[in-house]
Amino acid sequence: MLKVENVHKSFGKNQVLKGVSFDVEKGDVVAILGSSGSGKTTLLRCLEFFEKADDGRIELGELKTDLKGAHKSVANQFRQHTGFVFQNYNLFNNKTALDNVKLGLIKGHGVDKKKADELARKALDKVGLSDRLDYYPSELSGGQQQRIGIARAVAFEPDVIFMDEPTSALDPELVGEVLETIKKLAENGITMVIVTHEISFARDVATKVIYMDEGVIVEQGTSLEIFSRPKQERTRQFLSRFLADYDYVI
Amino acid sequence: MKKIELEWVFYFIKESLPYLSVTAQYVFFSLIFGTVIGSVIAKAKMSKSKIANFLASFYITIVRCTPSIVLLFLVYFGVPALLRDTSFGAWLNTLPTIIFVIVTYSIFIGASISEVIRGAFQVVSKGQREAGLAVGMNEFQTFASIILPQMVKAAIPNIGNTIIFLFKEGALAYTIGLHDVLGRAYFMSGRTMNVHALSMYVALTLIYWPISLLLEKLFKTISEKMQYVHVETVKETELAKEVKAA
């Protein structure tokens, strides 16, 4: 359903992505893992057209385009079918929780106001924030803000949701509620591509795992393949740092 | 010896106060055109083009280093003198004085407003623009419903200061013969050989002070009203305070 081919991106002389390709099927939860600076976030930002890739193609359902030089209207078409969850939530500070979710539905998707209100309430209910509809972002905790961010991305029922390190900016005690929310989406069959540092979460929830290093995909496969039988030495090293507790049994 | 005579103070207030409308006119129009100029300069300053960048900085520097009275004289006497032999120059001479005042102050505050706009723009994080695009809105929709309202909120205290500045500084327009509040007072004072000048100054103080204070209070209230806060929670905390107090 989502097909990404040969994405290249440089910032000045620094080559961040050196030809990245992968496929996502409907219902997949893809976790992109990798240490800082491996290009994971840049990849996601290129797919949402926030960064202009130097080369590469993207196909999403019926839509297809070269990433390089894609016109604004093409970018907008793709964005109509994708949701994006930001590391720093990026909620609209001048809007209440409910309006944060409604705005995109009304203006971005042309849903009429009554229907938008209904959909927005439903989305906020899904993330457990029905009692915070009239609150502004500044009055909510990081975890609550991120759950609104997720509701905002889910509300218009996109084909795929991109999540860029959705829990990295949160205090440790708030990570759980957000991961729980994402897990629920996964159980409901929502297609997601998640850049994350939560390795054990990826192991539990992801159907597919991509391990990136220095701008290339080192290894990709099902969750089971990557976590139990990684083929590449680099993958094994990376995972062993996080999953050390599985190496020994006491 | 000069002294303050109450009846003359009232006389000057009565004579000048109607001319507040002239003052209001140049404050209003200078603010509008100054904002237009300021937006263009801010856009140029934030653009990637080096030429646009340079021109914007040049404009800001020049204007900042020019006293407003010098700019006023240059616009009122200099420009028509320069274009004396053209039909445009002849046309300029037929224009009412207030036009020159508005042009001067638009140019003048355009520089400071550009900085206000730039500052306000930076208040709104880049991420919110991306979030607007991500939910399927286009650039314009994102700007109009997310970025602009927050910019306005951030700029309001500075806009208030600019209005108060224009209100007071605009009084210099009397030097080119404009009858605004101050110009009118000077004119009437001249008619009485400036014998009652001190009463005139007291009258002017009694006009300028309360209005400036009122404007200041007004903008403070507006910016306080514009906090993005859930109304009920405010009530709740107030209630909580009362409960505690009781």
**pLDDT tens digit sequence for B161-201:** 999 999 999 999 999 989 999 999 999 988 888 888 899 99
Structural domains in chain B, CATH included, are 6-245 (1.10.3720.10)
Instruction: Give pLDDT, residue B218.
Output: 93
**pLDDT tens digit sequence for A8-49:** 999 988 999 999 999 999 999 999 999 888 999 999 999 999
Confidence of residue B239 (pLDDT cuts 50, 70, 90): low
Q: Which of B104, B49, B52 is nearest to B76 (CA)?
A: B104
Closest partner CB to A134 (pick from B141, B149, B232):
B232
Measured in angstroms, the CA of B119 and the nearest CA of chain A are apart by: 17
| Inter-residue contact A17 to A7 (CB < 8 Å) | yes
Measured in angstroms, the CA of A230 and the nearest CA of chain B are apart by: 34
Minimum Cα–Cα distance from B226: chain A residue: A94
**pLDDT tens digit sequence for B195-233:** 888 999 999 999 999 999 999 999 999 888 888 776 654
Mean pLDDT of A97-107: 95
Q: Is A4 helix (H, G, I), strand (E, B) or coil?
A: strand
Whether B58 shows a pLDDT value over 50: the answer reads yes
Minimum Cα–Cα distance from B139: chain A residue: A72
**pLDDT tens digit sequence for A147-191:** 999 999 999 999 999 999 999 988 888 899 999 999 999 999 999
**Taking CB atoms and an 8 Å limit, are A50 and B130 in contact across chains?**
yes
Q: Which residues of A158-176 are buried (b: 16+ CB within 10 A; e: fewer)?
A: bbbbbbbbbbeebeeebbe
Residues A234/A238/A244/A246 CA torsion (nearest 10 deg): -70
Instruction: Give pLDDT, residue B125.
Output: 81
Whether B155 shows a pLDDT value over 60: the answer reads yes
Which pTM was predicted? Answer: 0.82
Q: Is A144 helix (H, G, I), strand (E, B) or coil?
A: helix
Q: Which of B129, B131, B160, B168 is nearest to B222 (CA)?
A: B160
Cα of B123 vs its chain's centroid, Å: 21
Longest Cα–Cα distance of chain B, Å, equals 81
Residue B12 — left, alpha, or beta (φ > 0 → left; ψ -120 to 50 → alpha)? alpha
Instruction: Give pLDDT, residue A18.
Output: 93
Confidence of residue B1 (pLDDT cuts 50, 70, 90): very low
Closest partner CB to A92 (pick from B131, B230, B232):
B131
Of A13-17, A169-173, A243-247, B23-27, which gets the smallest average pLDDT? Answer: A243-247
| Inter-residue contact B63 to B108 (CB < 8 Å) | yes
Structure tokens at B9: 């103070």
**Taking CB atoms and an 8 Å limit, are B229 and A104 in contact across chains?**
no
**pLDDT tens digit sequence for A51-81:** 999 999 999 999 999 998 889 999 999 999 9
Which residues of chain A have a CB within 8 Å of the CB of B232?
134
Whether B32 shows a pLDDT value over 70: the answer reads yes
Which residues of chain A have a CB within 8 Å of the CB of B122?
none
Confidence of residue B240 (pLDDT cuts 50, 70, 90): low
Confidence of residue B18 (pLDDT cuts 50, 70, 90): very high
**pLDDT tens digit sequence for A109-149:** 999 999 999 999 999 999 999 999 999 999 999 999 999 99
Instruction: Give pLDDT, residue A250.
Output: 52
**Taking CB atoms and an 8 Å limit, are B229 and A138 in contact across chains?**
yes
Instruction: Give pLDDT, residue B243.
Output: 61
**Taking CB atoms and an 8 Å limit, are B134 and A92 in contact across chains?**
no
| Chain A residues bordering chain B (beta-carbon distance below 8 Å) | 48-50, 72, 75-76, 79-80, 82-84, 86, 88, 90-96, 103-105, 107-109, 134-139, 149, 152-153, 156
Measured in angstroms, the CA of A156 and the nearest CA of chain B are apart by: 8
User: Using the 8-state DSSP alphabet, how is residue B2 labeled?
Assistant: -
**Taking CB atoms and an 8 Å limit, are A79 and B133 in contact across chains?**
yes
**pLDDT tens digit sequence for B78-134:** 988 888 888 888 888 888 999 999 999 999 999 999 999 998 888 888 899 999 999
ipTM computed for the complex: 0.91
